[in-house]
Amino acid sequence: MLKRISAASGTRPVIVAWFALDAIVGLFPPIYWAASGADPRVIGLPLSVFYFVAVGLFISASLVVAYFLDESARPRG
């Protein structure tokens, strides 16, 4: 039978903080962009598109780093 592992047992505080930041930037984008009439651009893309692509990369990076840190912490054998 699989052994259940508690999330708090071996989770590094850096990863927990990174996931919390992921949740904040992913769930609460700057609302004022919707209310403003301006259309700022970054690298030729509307700022909102650039923001969501950057957030997606940031969240993906946190998952990859958490995976590698978890794998490196597991006992081999």
Q: How far apart are CA 49 and CA 23, in angstroms?
A: 18
Q: Is 9 helix (H, G, I), strand (E, B) or coil?
A: helix
Q: What is the pLDDT of residue 36?
A: 64
Q: Give residue-wise pLDDT tens across range 12-61.
A: 888 899 999 999 888 887 766 666 667 778 788 788 788 888 899 999 99
Alpha-helix runs per DSSP H in 1-77: 7-10, 13-27, 32-35, 47-73
More confident residue, 3 or 28: 28
pTM of the model: 0.71
End-to-end CA distance of the chain: 19
For the segment 65-74, the average pLDDT, to the nearest whole number, is 86
Q: Is 16 helix (H, G, I), strand (E, B) or coil?
A: helix
Q: What is the pLDDT of residue 50?
A: 83
